[in-house]
Structure 1
Amino acid sequence: MGFYPQPLAAPRPMVLALLLVVVLAVELALYFPQRGELGVLVGLYASVVWSLPIGITALIAWGAHLAARRMRASRDRAEPPPVDELVIVQLPTIGRYDVIPALTRVVESFEREMPDWYREWRLDVVAEESSPAKAELEALASENVRILYVPTAYRTANGTERKARANQWMNELRIAEAEARPDVWVLHMDDDTGIGPDTPPAIAWVIHGNPWGLRHSADLAQGVLTYPRQYASRFWPWLADSIRPGSDLSLFHLSTDSGSPFIGAHGELLLVRASTEAEIGWDYGRNLSITEDANFALTFGGMPCKRSTWFPARCYGSSPESLRDLVAQRQRWARGLLHVACNRALPRRARLMLAYAMLAWFMGPFQHVVTVVATAYLVGNPNTSPLTRELVLLWAFNMSVVVWMYIEGLRANVHASGLPRVTCRHWIGLVLIPWFTLIEGWAALLGLADFVKDRLGLQSGELFHVIAKTHDGSGGRRAAR
């Protein structure tokens, strides 16, 4: 890896409590009752948009508390014995020249870290038959690494595309090779997301603790996504990605560790029993291919007698390399998740929860402090206080949770980078949180526009822009053709 990551630290709910006290004190000091008709209108607008996310922020806070308790309980756990079951790492890639540097780093991480913990394992790199960088892909092959190509003529029954199509082809291949068994595990990864020394033993504990045939054994598990600074070409997109491990250490922990994912999953560090994956499959159709991982997890959540779990380990990914890439990535997620929320084959409760979370996301630009203050001044009433003093508590809580997620996510990314502590430069960078949240909300609105076009049949081109991944962690970029 070239650097030595610090241990994954438990989230700190007490930091959230401290933030809440500080923010609440400031907002109560600034509170001034609304007066007149314009004041009521401004107060009503601010009350709605700033109170709306309370359901999601409450789940985040509760998830952080449970994650902290879970991680403290597993802190002194001994090393697991080697795993006898077959573990197949599945790594789809677009196979372009500009993703080869990250892909090479990922493959090397598995060849370095897996042998000590797994007696039988294999890494399947899956690319398109038409991939331009075939020579570079073939150079990655080894005793434990297979390079496979999805035939250009391959079509699924429902017209699934992109990564979901490759996953479905691999699913069918495992069935044909008699590997879709309950004693075989599939670890899904991305071509920019590798592992470190802490990842294999944590996965080994999941496999040892969930043998096939026991009533309460889990069939799906997920860990934490982190983003080392070494894999990011620019400082501020790396800071913006602090929100992602912050989410994993709170909301996604609560969802996955509940036994039935209710908010989805991400496609990295996703461990699934091969027989369960064969039951579900990945053939969801074109639009559900955009965020196939979330659709898979919510389909899993609707299956009786299936249980998920969470494990306190991380993988190491690459942050977007530019503002354009960051917006394109979030835009794609928003577009795809809306299609998932409209998938009537999923449990209604999960769809409603996802729709609510998406609504809170879309409201980002409208609840942004600049928007609210500007609106108040435009209508001639600069007071942005809520209609009642009691709503200040909701506002303070929502704001504190967002700031806390960036703080804890930054801490997780700094530790994944091998740095001993978060520096003043990192902390100062968090003054950009209002800018980050505005970008996130704007990208979500662009995704909403794409979703509407999809539903109206006005969009039939490329599903999504695959961002460049040129960093390999060596302190710079490898050459990309």
Structure 2
Amino acid sequence: MLPELVLHVSVIVCTVLLAYFVLGLVAYLTYTPQQATEPAEDVRLVIPTIGSENVRDSLETCLDHHREMFADYELYVLTDEGADLETELREYPGYTTVVVPDSFECEAVAKGRAIQYFIESVVDEEPDYWYGFIDDDNLVKDDRFLYEIPHYEAEGYGAMNAVLSPRRGDSLVTYVMDHVRLLDDLTVFRAFTGLLGRPYIGFHGELLTVRGDVLSEIGFDRHSIVEDFAFAAELIEADVRTWQSGTRVSILSPHTVRDLFKQRSRWFVGTWNLLWDASPLTRLMTGVRMVSWICAILAGPVAVLASPYASSLSIPVVLAVAPSITGAIYGVTYLYGIVSVDKWWRGVLVPFLPLFAVFEAVTPLYAVLFSDRSFTVIDK
């Protein structure tokens, strides 16, 4: 009885994950972001940062990179009053620095609070621009989104997200694991944000780009430790259409596995808390993925341990192979990350492929046991 039950649970979880991947594969094959012949000029780029000493290196790299790449556009850096680097940022060449005063009060916290202040002090006064928010460890790799904006603005779209591509930090393990984010972007996020034009599974904060009037209308003034998901949920409620850009954004992977756990658990806890106030379709699409995430720690081992019983159970063949196909997809994704590291490390990392999947799967458990339910900024 027990082997039959656990195998059915494993098959269900893996089938759900596989179904999302199939939907994403359809989007990958059929969706192509459209471009105008000339780039948009009414665009401003904003880099919110905690401005602490431990993000100095990544922040300076980010600021220099975007000042050079987008020299013809107005650039802002956004930080809090009293930040370690506040004085230096006020004098940073090529940027207008906006400092969030301690006296500013709103429901939002951390980055959401800073963006809300920027909305009230800058966007509300000039809502005719498009505003792109770039995290302080990001490197936007191309300018395709600038050519997309005129096309989608003419079609009535109000917001877009880009495709994330990992960049190695201090940890090879987290760098390899972050390739799952690239897989998600090219498949399931492309399906919802791009093909359907509705971010039912959320938005990334990296190069979150919004038309000024939409930004003013929706705002970020809500308490959440996942302000990008909260904003996406409000876009759906307001019936604002979105697209997924062809632009790639390089993201710095967490420097330690512990930082990765902290990052992923913040996503899990924050999204779970917001889910109940989201639209029905958002609750369904995101909720199913989260439940699958919770069960994933059992799915792989159960499939292996119970496989001797599979032939005696009445499970359709197409579903019975779901665990193997799902495992192969994630395995290939991790392998793709491994082949991009130094040749010597490839042979060392390959035997640990199952461990990468385990690390990703135990995040919900880590979130329940160790998360403090607050916004945490990992080292960069």
Per the normalisation by structure 2, the TM-score is 0.90
Offset from partner CA, 1:139-181 (integer Å, 9 cap, x none):
5x223x122211112111xx321111111111111245x2123
Match for 2:349: what amino acid?
Answer: G
In 2: Cα distance, 1:299 partner to 1:50 partner: 34
From 102, 107, 114, the equivalent of 1:152 is: 102
**Residue aligning to 1:244:** 181
Compare CA radii of gyration and give the structure with the larger one: 1
The answer on whether the counterparts of 1:90 and 1:186 sit within 8 Å (CA) in structure 2 is yes
- Cα distance, 1:319–1:363 mapped onto 2, change above 3 Å: same
Check whether the contact 1:265–1:293 (CA below 8 A) recurs between aligned residues: yes
Find the counterpart in structure 2 of residue 21 from structure 1: none
Say whether the 8 Å CA contact 1:92–1:190 is kept in structure 2: yes
2:260 pairs with 1:349: no
Question: Over residues 27-79 of structure 1, what are the superposed CA-to-partner deviations in whole Å (9 max), with x where a residue is unaligned?
Answer: xxxxxxxxxxxxx22121121133224234212222123223435x97xx8x9
3-state SS in 1 of match to 2:146? helix
- Decide whether aligned partners of structure 1 residues 149 and 55 sit closer, same or farther in structure 2, where only a CA change above 3 A counts: same
Task: Sort the Cα spacing of 1:401 and 1:49 in 2 relative to 1 into closer, same or farther, 3 A.
Answer: closer
The answer on whether the counterparts of 1:94 and 1:127 sit within 8 Å (CA) in structure 2 is yes
**Residue 52 of structure 1 aligns to a residue in which SS?**
helix
Residue 468 of structure 1: aligned partner = 379
One-letter amino acid matched to 1:348: P
The structural deviation recorded for 1:429 is 3.3
1:262 is matched by which residue type in structure 2?
Y
Select which of 329, 348, 354 maps to 2:263: 329
Give the superposition deviation at 1:430.
4.8
**Counterpart-to-counterpart distance in 1, 2:55 and 2:255:** 12
What TM-score does the superposition give when structure 1 sets the normalisation length? 0.72
Change (3 A) 1:107 1:409: farther
Letter in 1 for 2:136: D
Residue among 179, 195, 208 paired with 1:270: 208
Partner of 1:142: 93
Deviation at 1:398, TM superposition (A): 4.3
Where in structure 1 are there 5+ consecutive unaligned residues?
1-39, 377-381, 452-458, 470-481
Q: Which runs of 5+ in 2 are unaligned?
A: none
1:240 to 1:41, Cα distance in 2 relative to 1, 3 A: same
Query: Percent of pairs identical after alignment?
Result: 25
Q: What does residue range 125-204 of structure 1 map to in structure 2 within 5 Å? A: 125-139=77-91, 141-143=92-94, 145-156=95-106, 159-176=107-124, 178-181=125-128, 184-196=129-141, 199-200=142-143, 202-204=144-146
The number of residue pairs the alignment matches comes to 379
Tell me what 2:4 maps to: 43
Deviations 1:5-34 (A, max 9, x none): xxxxxxxxxxxxxxxxxxxxxxxxxxxxxx
Report SS of the residue matched to 1:89: strand
Structure with the higher helix share, 1 or 2 = 2
Contact kept, 8 Å, 2:158 with 2:210, in 1: the verdict is yes
**Aligned pair partner of 1:103 in 21, 39, 59:** 59
Post-superposition CA distance 1:92-114 (Å, at most 9, x none): 11111111111111111111212
User: Structure 1 residues 406, 170: CA separation in 2 closer, same or farther (over 3 Å shift)?
Assistant: farther
With over 3 angstroms needed to count, the CA separation of the structure-2 counterparts of 1:432 and 1:313, relative to structure 1, is farther
- 2: CA distance, partners of 1:131 / 1:276: 29
Write the deviation string for residues 353-389 of structure 1: whole angstroms up to 9, x where unpaired: 21111110111222231x6667x7xxxxx94537625
User: What SS class does the counterpart of residue 468 from structure 1 fall into?
Assistant: coil
CA 1:149–1:386 in structure 2 vs 1: closer, same or farther (change >3 Å)?
A: farther
Query: CA 1:242 to 1:395, structure 2 compared with 1: closer, same or farther past 3 Å?
Result: farther
Partner of 1:440: 360
Equivalent residue number for residue 225 of structure 2: 290
Residues 272-295 of structure 1, C-alpha deviation per residue, up to 9 Å, x if partnerless?
11111111111112xxx2111011
RMSD: 2.8
Contact 1:246 1:409 in 2 (8 A): no
Whole-Å Cα distance in 1 between the matches of residues 79 and 292 of structure 2?
A: 36
